[in-house]
Amino acid sequence: MTALTIRRPDDWHLHLRDGAELAAVLPFSAARFARAIVMPNLKPAVTSTAQALDYRRRVLAALPAGAAFEPLMTLYLTDDTPAAEVERARASGCVFGFKLYPAGATTHSESGVTDIRHIMPVLERMAELGVVLQVHGEVTDPAVDVFEREPRFIERTLAPLVERLPQLRIVFEHITTRAAVNFVLGARAGVAATVTPQHLLMNRNALFAGGIRPHHYCAPVLKAEAERAALLSAVTRGSARFFLGTDSAPHARRAKETACGCAGIFSAHAGIELYAEAFEAAGALDKLEGFAARHGADFYGLPHNAATLTLVREPWKVPDHYPFGADQLVPLRAGERIAWRLAPPTARPHP
């Protein structure tokens, strides 16, 4: 196959940052995705509906002329989030979820939730109103091995929560393990997961290939090959419980190439192309459209996009870096090739 046309996809997990960094990365996502859930882990975090609406305006203002891209906002849960915020969020029409970061789990999670018991009234209100909870699913206990933090989170927090609030709609974000795949497949209705391109294409060897590779470091960290294979097999079987969320997470080169580098992989420059590679490797390009353009919209109760996007099988070399405010941004596959290229957009509606 040399060309692949699919319904225009959405990115259900994206970090856009703010200011000059937002302006530097947004065009990549807007060229590919019709909508994206925009993560709220700014500094300070986006914890109120009013802040989310302001941030949404900044995203819209940073869009290139003629871009068709809708930012879908989510609020950052803290120990102090009031249950009334759920009503405000819902009434705004622009907020599509609340993000649970266990405090200390990842980049800018310091003001996250220290104990899920603190937010039970908020979660109960979300369940009543049908507002989605997006979960960074890792325990923060430093005694737990870093490769085991996702399975332990399922046992200690997620499985009990799913049972305790049977109406709560939950997206288990950026899953990385067979345990997470099995949990999602076996869970009650209303539980789904996003999967990143890096966790479908790379295993933890990529962190140490020829030396330490800070640009392959993200949270949750890359896992062993058997876990990667389980993820790829799950998404390419076509279950509607799995959908696209790049977790594209730009950091300045200076913040990555240092003694204590930040977690985050920037992938928005090839946010659909990388998935095409992964699905092609599994012989399942026919399953890409569901994963990228239908399952997520169905979960969030939003319409499918009418426009299409075409990829051509024409390898291209990724730049070594992109501009990023006063610094540089090193993208996934920097200096290497990607098998699929984005074709120029057409106005043709999906048949």
Q: Which residues contact Zn ion (rule: CB under 5 A)?
A: 247
Q: Which residue is nearest to ligand DOR, using beta carbons?
A: 264
Q: Which residues bind ligand DOR (CB under 6 A)?
A: 15, 41, 106-108, 136, 218-219, 249, 263-264
| Active-site residue flag, 247 | yes
Nearer to ligand DOR by Cβ, of 107 and 111: the residue is 107
The backbone region for 331, taken as left when phi is positive above 0, alpha when psi lies in -120 to 50, beta otherwise, is: beta
Query: Which SS3 state, helix, strand or coil, does residue 193 take?
Result: strand
Please, what is the minimum distance in Å from the beta carbon of residue 221 to ligand DOR?
8
Please, what is the minimum distance in Å from the beta carbon of residue 262 to ligand DOR?
6
H or E stretch including 200? helix 197-201
**Residues 304, 307, 310: CA angle, nearest 5 degrees:** 115
Q: Which residue is nearest to Zn ion, using beta carbons?
A: 247
| Partner from ligand DOR, Zn ion, none binding residue 199, C-beta < 5-8 Å depending on class | none
| Partner from Zn ion, ligand DOR, none binding residue 125, C-beta < 5-8 Å depending on class | none
Q: How many whole angstroms from its chain centre is CA 264?
A: 11
Please, what is the minimum distance in Å from the beta carbon of residue 317 to Zn ion?
27
Please, what is the minimum distance in Å from the beta carbon of residue 136 to ligand DOR?
5
DSSP-derived pairing of the beta strands 316-317 and 337-338: antiparallel
Q: Which residue in the list 10, 54, 145, 247 is annotated as catalytic?
A: 247
DSSP 331: -
| Partner from Zn ion, ligand DOR, none binding residue 32, C-beta < 5-8 Å depending on class | none
| Partner from ligand DOR, Zn ion, none binding residue 218, C-beta < 5-8 Å depending on class | ligand DOR
Nearer to ligand DOR by Cβ, of 263 and 281: the residue is 263
Outline where DSSP puts E strands in the chain: 3-7, 11-14, 35-38, 70-76, 95-100, 132-135, 170-172, 191-195, 242-244, 308-312, 316-317, 322-324, 327-329, 337-338, 341-342
| Partner from Zn ion, ligand DOR, none binding residue 106, C-beta < 5-8 Å depending on class | ligand DOR
Please, what is the minimum distance in Å from the beta carbon of residue 14 to Zn ion?
8
Both structure tokens of 264: 């985050």
SS3 content of the chain, % helix, strand, coil (to 5): 40, 20, 45
Nearer to ligand DOR by Cβ, of 35 and 108: the residue is 108
Q: How far apart are CA 153 and CA 137, in angstroms?
A: 6
Nearer to ligand DOR by Cβ, of 76 and 340: the residue is 76
Nearer to Zn ion by Cβ, of 11 and 247: the residue is 247
CB of 135 within 8 A of CB of 169? no
Question: Which active-site residues does the annotation give?
Answer: 247
